[in-house]
Amino acid sequence: MTEDQPQRTGGLSRRGLLGLTGVGVAGFGLGMAADGAMHGASGSTGGAQSADNHPFYGAHQSGIVTPAQDRLHFAAFDMAAETTRTDLIELLQDWTIAAGAMTAGREIGEFGAVSGPYDAPPQDTGEAQDLPAAGLTITVGFGPSLFESGDGVDRFGIAHRRPERLVELPHFPGDALEEKRSGGDLCIQACADDPQVAVHAIRNLSRIAFGRASLRWSQLGFGRTSSTSTAQTTPRNLFGFKDGTNNVKAEDTATVDTQIWVQPQDGPAWLAGGSYLVARRIRMTIETWDRTILREQEAVIGRTKGEGAPLSGGTEFTPPDFEATGRDDEPLIDRAAHMRLAHPSTNNGTAILRRGYNFVDGNDPLGRLDAGLFFLSFQRSPKQFIDVQLNLAKNDALNEYIRHVGSAIFAVPPGAAEGSYVGATLFT
């Protein structure tokens, strides 16, 4: 029994049970495990089975090249003060067990929401008990502050294992970042085809973290704004344009390997098979956009608004011809068009896997919808995002209509092996 292998009690670490039941009623937690046989509960069997399950365990984490689901609940966490390496490991173990259950359409814990002892809080909060897995994926990431909290203290004994490439993103021109929407020691991306399933996942994982990590910020999203599979049609963002036509697709395994997964030679070894995740909350000033003439909208994007074809001609998937010119020898696709500046050919072949969602979070005091794009991208190295975003931040005609207000970066470890836990390679 080493520090890294905490005692398990019926599938959840002892600390996990404490977390589930809260510090004040810790006794119930222990009672629960002891009472298991008495109550005849046979494990987490609630939740209808869905044909659309994505296993949590595997070489890579799911939720990256998985065909993008329709809904998102994303959460960033900070580790609590005074937590130890053991706390962090146990948290990741408890999250793994719960994620394995929920992604299979099962409730969490031994007793789920309703079959447990009546004198203990239910282990699962229960709002998803009649729902299928709905394609749920849970993807975990580590922020730079997990490795080095800035006060010089190596809280978790992993400072020396920080990936060299995992550094805070630089300040980009135009950034208007809010602290309360940025950063985080850990993140969980929960995607599903039913928002109640995604919300249930984040809620229960937050609950499991009680006393060890707490929500720093969170974001709901809908209407995936990128396809990540050739089997998906291209959805539209809140500018009304198709978004992600030229995205990396899961079926293009060569590009996925060279652009998305961290390779063994990249280092560090524990991150091989993982990726880097960048999250940006991009507020759209949609009221201004909506008063912009159609020609200007199309010029800003570089595509037609209906079909999504490049302004150089063709249909949606026709490769853009950036050299084609029209009147006065001006390029048909404007030099500042978003699509030109984001295109791999403008960025030395760099591609990133976008997996963002639309959001509307009510309205501001002036009656403007607080709406936009919650951008998520996965890439083999943060440099890929940084290079493209520097190009965009300096030159993109779209900047007149958007404002980056939140930002975070995470190293996404490889998938957990059955019987192990997500992130285990970092601690061995």
List binders of a second copy among 214-273 (CB under 8 A). 214-220, 222-223, 233, 235-241
Name the residue among 236, 241, 210, 201 with its Cα closest to residue 222. 236
Query: One symbol per residue from 160 to 189: x for binding a second copy (CB under 8 A), - otherwise; what is it?
Result: --------------------x---------
Question: Segment near a second copy (CB under 8 A), from 52-60, 192-200, 309-317, 390-398?
Answer: 192-200
Name the residue among 342, 397, 336 with its Cα closest to residue 375. 342
Q: Which is nearer to a second copy, 14 or 162 (CB)?
A: 14
Q: Which is nearer to a second copy, 10 or 235 (CB)?
A: 235
Of the candidate residues 3, 290, 330, 400, the single one contacting a second copy (CB under 8 A): 290
Query: Coil, helix or strand for 221?
Result: strand
User: What DSSP state is assigned to residue 242?
Assistant: B
Question: Segment near a second copy (CB under 8 A), from 49-57, 168-176, 250-258, 289-297?
Answer: 289-297
Question: Segment near a second copy (CB under 8 A), from 140-148, 252-260, 284-292, 335-343?
Answer: 284-292
215-249 exposure pattern, b = at least 16 Cβ within 10 A, e = fewer: bbbbbbbebbbbbbeeebebbbbbbebbbbbbbbb
Of the candidate residues 148, 252, 361, 387, the single one contacting a second copy (CB under 8 A): 361
Residues in region 102-161 near a second copy by CB under 8 A: 113-122, 124-130
Q: Which is nearer to a second copy, 78 or 396 (CB)?
A: 78
Query: One symbol per residue from 67 to 96: x for binding a second copy (CB under 8 A), - otherwise; what is it?
Result: ------x-----------------------
Pair of tokens at residue 96: 């793994």
Q: Are 76 and 216 in contact (CB under 8 A)?
A: yes
DSSP string, 354-389: E--EEEEEEE-TTS-EEEEEEEEEEESSHHHHHHHH
Closest distance to a second copy from the beta carbon of 231 (Å):
16
Q: How far is CA 3 from CA 92, 149, 186, 425, in A?
A: 14, 22, 21, 15
Query: One symbol per residue from 318 to 357: x for binding a second copy (CB under 8 A), - otherwise; what is it?
Result: ----------------------------------------
Q: Which is nearer to a second copy, 78 or 424 (CB)?
A: 78
Residues in region 10-69 near a second copy by CB under 8 A: 21-22, 24-25, 28
Q: How far is CA 371 from CA 234, 238, 287, 316, 364, in A?
A: 20, 8, 10, 26, 10
Q: Which is nearer to a second copy, 102 or 256 (CB)?
A: 102
Name the residue among 80, 72, 272, 97 with its Cα closest to residue 185. 80
Closest distance to a second copy from the beta carbon of 327 (Å):
14
Residue 363 found at the interface with a second copy (CB under 8 A): yes
Helices (H), 121-280: 144-147, 195-208, 253-259
Rounded Cα–Cα distance for residues 15 and 209 (Å) = 10
Q: Are 74 and 219 in contact (CB under 8 A)?
A: yes
Q: Which is nearer to a second copy, 198 or 416 (CB)?
A: 198
Judged by CB under 8 A, the number of residues near a second copy is 74
Q: Which is nearer to a second copy, 45 or 49 (CB)?
A: 45
Q: Which is nearer to a second copy, 298 or 382 (CB)?
A: 298
Q: Which is nearer to a second copy, 398 or 424 (CB)?
A: 398
Closest distance to a second copy from the beta carbon of 44 (Å):
13
Q: Are 113 and 102 in contact (CB under 8 A)?
A: no
Rounded Cα–Cα distance for residues 74 and 243 (Å) = 20
Q: What is the Cα gyration radius of the chain?
A: 23
Distance of CA 412 to the CA centre of its chain: 9
Closest distance to a second copy from the beta carbon of 18 (Å):
12
Rounded Cα–Cα distance for residues 269 and 163 (Å) = 9
